[in-house]
Amino acid sequence: MRTLGLYALSLQVQGGTAADPVVNHDILSLIARSSLLAKFVLLILILFSVISWGVILYKLWSLGRAERQSATFLDIFRKSSKFSEVQAVCKNLNDSPLVGVFQAGYAELNTQLRQSTPAAPAGAPVRSTLKSLPALDRALLRAATVEINRLEDRVSFLATTASITPYIGLFGTVWGIMSAFQGIGATGSTNLGVVAPGIAEALIATAAGLFAAIPAVYFYNHLSGRVKLLASEMDDFSLEFLNISERNFT
Amino acid sequence: MDAVTPILVDRAQARGGLWPRMGLSAALHAVVLPIVMIWMVADPPEDQAPKAVMQISLGGAPGPRAGGMTPMSARAADAAPPTSRPTPVAPPAPKAPDMTLPDTRKTPQRETPKAPEATQGTAVAETGVRTGAAFGGLSTGGSSGTSGYLDVANFCCPEYLATMTQLIHRNWNGKQQVAGETLVKYTIQRDGRVTNVEVEKSSGYFALDQTSQRALLVTRQFPQLPPQFTEGTLTVHLIFRYER
């Protein structure tokens, strides 16, 4: 709502300067003179722009955190010799998708090991074994799916914005040009001074549509690429986890 | 109960930080959009109209033809134009020789080719639709009359045309061996460049057409078109009249 307030304010500022007859081709007076539908289209486009930029900032922030924490987590995971040590660190690195995968795998591992060693004699060196490696694999796979869903969350809104907003803008433009031509037909004048303002006003909608769409396209591709990188990192980690488990617990 | 599922559910639900970014985005829009708009209000696109440039012509333009100041090489503006041409004194005719032999050679009768008999007379009047404004053209004699016209009606500035003819006249060699009229068409660009010089109606003599075209090609540059004249180019049809 703050946007709209300032927007209305800027319209009023323009209203003050519009008394000057020389300045009447600028963008604000064009918007102020445009029809209700054109204003509505502009409003929708600005809303799309605001939301998509919100998503862009959010995803840039959260993916950045995920990448940094994943790097730290991998460091710790490869240096430590016990899963329980790694598990202790997990709380601080909650934004990394690898942490989710690890926690799921660790939980599954613990469950299986507890069930397999109920009757071990105390003091004897016990070698606990895994019951089912495929079950562990499935647990890791489930966790990876959940993490990918988290990473891709709301990115699809950018794709929607990128494909819809040019059309909304085009709609506004076509409508504006239609009414401009109706005006020409009514006045019977084809003077450029009569025709041009209507068309300029109509074209603002297309400009606004592109204004919303172009960053959305760029950041959709950018963020998708980063999500893909994180996903492959997760697959890699799952296989590493499986390998370690197979080596140690079978 | 599976041990993995609660962990996954927890992780799927744990997310935050979207709404602060949404607010940041809204604030960014609230700042950037008004700035862009106010900037466009404060700095409207510059007027593309050509600036009026003061024309200072040296050498006495617009000259005696326009009734103004006089170039030093020409006669004074207030001097009376010569009323009649001085009649050349004819040299005495050579005396006929006293005695001559009769010419016995028979002069060959020249056969004139017979033209096809005209059966019916048809006259085609060449009117030349002259919609535009007319003005004085160029002539080597005193008589000028209407001998040039423009493609636009109501051209605003006769003094511009006077300057134009004056400039052409400087580069025009009007002393030719034959008489004739050449109609030349050319276009003056907004900045005064002369383009598209072409002979619209030939005089029949190559030399005359060439001289007329050359006058324009050498002139090459006129003053800018006057700012009162709104169109981009001015097309002129100019008659070069060679008299003996």
Q: Is the CB of residue B218 less than 8 Å away from at least one CB of chain A?
A: no
Kindly determine whether residue B44 and residue A23, on different chains, have CB atoms separated by under 8 Å.
yes
pLDDT score for A14: 39
Whether the CB-CB separation of A136 and A242 falls below 8 Å is answered with: yes
Span B92-144, pLDDT tens digits: 777 776 776 766 666 666 666 655 554 454 444 444 444 456 666 666 654 44
Return the structure tokens found at B171.
Answer: 């580069």
Span A2-30, pLDDT tens digits: 444 444 444 433 333 333 444 455 666 77
CB within 8 Å of chain A, chain B residues 10-69: 11-12, 14-15, 17-18, 21-30, 33-34, 37-38, 40-41, 44-45
Span B150-207, pLDDT tens digits: 766 667 777 888 888 888 888 888 788 888 888 888 888 888 888 888 888 888 888 8
User: Could you tell me how many CB contacts below 8 A there are between chain A and chain B?
Assistant: 105
For domain B130-244, which architecture applies?
A: 2-Layer Sandwich (3.30)
Kindly determine whether residue A3 and residue B18, on different chains, have CB atoms separated by under 8 Å.
no
Q: Which residue of B has its CA nearest to A112?
A: B3
* Min Cα separation B52/chain A (Å): 20
pLDDT score for A138: 93
Q: What is this model's ipTM?
A: 0.75
Domain range list for chain B: 130-244
Percent of chain A past pLDDT 90, that is, above it, reads 54
Interface of A with B (CB under 8 A): 2-3, 5-7, 9-10, 13-14, 17, 22-23, 25-28, 46, 49-51, 53-58, 61-62, 94, 100, 103-104, 107-108, 110-111, 139, 142-143, 146-147, 149-150, 153-154
Chain A neighbors of B38, CB-CB under 8 A: 10, 13
pLDDT score for A26: 62
Lowest mean pLDDT among A14-28, A44-58, A119-133, B75-89: A14-28
Cα–Cα distance between A210 and A216 in angstroms, integer?
10
- Give chain A's end-to-end CA distance (angstroms, integer): 61
Chain A neighbors of B40, CB-CB under 8 A: 26-28
B interface mutation test: which of A17, A53, A109 has the most B CBs within 10 A? A53
Domain range list for chain A: 36-116+129-249
